Amino acid sequence: MDPRTTEKLAFGFLRACIWIVVAFVAILILYIVIQGYSIMSWEFLTEMPRNRMTEGGIYPALIGTAHLVAISMAVAIPLGVLSAIYLNEYAKESRSTWIIEMAINNLAGTPSVVFGLFGLALFVKYLAFKPSIISASLTLALLILPVVIRASKEALITVPLAHREASLALGVTKWKTIRSIVLPEALPGIVTGIILSIGRVAGETAPILFTGAAFFLPRLPESVFSQFMALPYHLFILATSGLNPTETRPIQYGTALVLLILVLLINSIAIVIRKHYRKKLHR
Amino acid sequence: MSGINDFADIKVEDLNLWYGSNQALQDINIKIPSKSVTALIGPSGCGKSTFLRCINRMNDLIKVCHIEGRVKIDNKNIYDEDVDVVELRKRVGMVFQKPNPFPMSVYDNIAYGPKIHKVSKKDIKGIVDKTLQDSALYGEVSDRLDSSALDLSGGQQQRLCIARTMAVEPEIILFDEPCSALDPISTNKIEDLILKLKEDYTIVIVTHNMQQAARISDYTAFFLMGEIIEFGETNQIFENPEEKRTEDYITGRFG
């Protein structure tokens, strides 16, 4: 075949692939928006569910999910980023580091329901946190920890050796070099890893199933040791075991839409932060 | 910087270096005079860059690297256990083969070292101005101190790296093939700069460029397979070498 025809065919094929992806995402978002739009109102966001969850809003679920995201990120980000710094900058290449890295990689591929069971055993039972926000948040933190560590480590690796050497050659300590050169340069990549984790924390159902998410709880959690409602679990309940799954369809899609918007919102904040740091880097 | 004799004489005694089981430097003995330019020449892989990196202990970063012998600066062996490597690198600056400015503004690149070494903000401004002038960069970049160092040309970036090194006030500056990535005009500017710098600093430069060694250095050491074959005044090395191998290399018969 003529090389130019082959090229056209190849490009056409690649373009088709990306259009298929875009189409799926567009249909998904459009469908949720169309189905959930009708119920969207201030009341839907700020009212308790009523009449056995067939009426009213999703306020407690929204608040519950916000708590989960905030607490699990507060735990996973420092722990994950600092672990990545240690692994990449300080740990010597040895058998034990290799084992640790293998464990992290495997952890990243572990099904989330396994994390749920682990959280139940460790936080709910052994540490006696009961089914609660704190149990669920810690479980979710464990779930995304490998993601944060891996993304941070990848970001740290890309910082050129030349920049580290330049700093060390100026009589700057290793720790100061990491803080003032390596970390700022790796930050956009680290933030990207965090962005991915936020979506996961907000959307996961299995890990919170055993660790504190309530079927129905028409009040706000009093402390981190209270049970809570969460958007993804609420959606799951309404769709599978609610009183009337067909009648509550708008509420289901409304919940999905809110979840989607919430994740997009947090992501855009993270993207703004990332942009800010990129700019500061003068790239 | 109290108690530091500005007569920074580098004395190397019986230096041997291995990468794993591979010996890269063998019985190096050399005295590098202060306030002069000493060029290290030799074919690729002869150990001259490795030797250069012994003088500010950059080889410490390489895990498999093992060193025996002494490198004395002001009669103090820098490989002694009580030597603070960070303090040493403040005294012995280094300019690398490829310009490696930080992804920051021109100003911040130079201010980086002094800032970390706790120089006051007011003094830093003075240091930046002075080093930019000393590195002959001031006229070219004075109006864009706040723009990215990565937007400068390669030659300007390298002079910025020299200015950055000078900003921490070292006594010795090591140059590792500083012009190998630069065009002839930029190379010229760097050479002029090095000639000017030797009034205040002891300079050791690794170079592949014979003319460059002849042009700027007072002393030349010829390295071959991890050994110093000959060391002496540059004129003597280039015009009347004692060793056949030195002559062969300089005249381009091998290497």
- Record: contact A169-B165, CB cut-off 8 A: yes
Residue B148 to residue A283, Cβ atoms within 8 A: yes
Q: Is residue A263 assigned to a domain?
A: yes
Cα A247 from chain centroid?
31
Structure tokens, B47: 């150990």
How long a stretch of residues is chain B?
Answer: 255
What would the pLDDT profile of B55-101 be if each residue is shown by its tens digit? Answer: 999 998 888 899 999 999 988 999 999 999 999 999 999 999 999 99
The full 3-state SS of chain B, as one line of letters, equals CCCCCCCCCEEEEEEEEEECCEEEEEEEEEEECCCCEEEEECCCCCCHHHHHHHHCCHHHHCCCEEEEEEEEECCEECCCCCCCHHHHHHHEEEECCCCCCCCCEHHHHHHHHHHHCCCCHHHHHHHHHHHHHHCCCHHHHHHHCCCEHHHCCHHHHHHHHHHHHHCCCCCEEEEECCCCCCCHHHHHHHHHHHHHHCCCCEEEEECCCHHHHHHHCCEEEEEECCEEEEEEEHHHHHHCCCCHHHHHHHCCCCC
> What residue numbers bound the domain in which A266 lies?
38-280
Q: Domain for residue A149, yes or no?
A: yes
- The answer for A 158-177 residues in CB contact with B (under 8 A) is 160, 162-163, 165-173, 176
Q: Which residues of chain A have pLDDT under 50?
A: none
For residue A166, is it within any domain? Answer: yes
Interface touch A166/B87, C-beta < 8 Å: no
Average pLDDT, chain A: 89
A91 touches chain B (CB under 8 A): no
What φ, ψ does residue B52 adopt, rounded to 5°? -55, -40
For the domain that residue A221 is a member of, what is the CATH number?
Answer: 1.10.3720.10
Q: Which CATH homologous superfamily contains domain B10-250?
A: P-loop containing nucleotide triphosphate hydrolases (3.40.50.300)
Cβ–Cβ of A169/B56 closer than 8 Å? yes
**Residues of chain A neighbouring B58 (CB-CB closer than 8 A):** 165, 168-169
Could you tell me the residue ranges of all domains in chain B?
10-250
How does pLDDT run along chain B (255 residues), one tens digit per residue?
333 344 558 999 999 999 999 999 999 999 999 999 999 999 988 999 999 999 999 998 888 899 999 999 988 999 999 999 999 999 999 999 999 999 999 999 999 999 999 888 889 999 999 999 988 888 899 898 999 999 999 999 999 999 999 999 999 999 999 998 889 998 999 999 999 999 999 999 999 989 999 999 999 999 999 999 999 999 999 999 998 999 989 888 765
Domain count, chain A: 1
Task: Tell me if chain B has a CB within 8 Å of the CB of A128.
Answer: no
Among candidates B63, B89, B150 on the partner chain, residue whose Cβ is nearest the Cβ of A171? B89
B 190-249 near A (Cβ less than 8 A):
none
Provide the pLDDT for residue B255.
Answer: 53
SS3 A49: strand
Using alpha carbons, select from A203, A217, A210 the residue that is nearest to residue A53. Answer: A217
Q: What is the pLDDT of residue A58?
A: 87
- The answer as to whether A27 is a domain residue is no
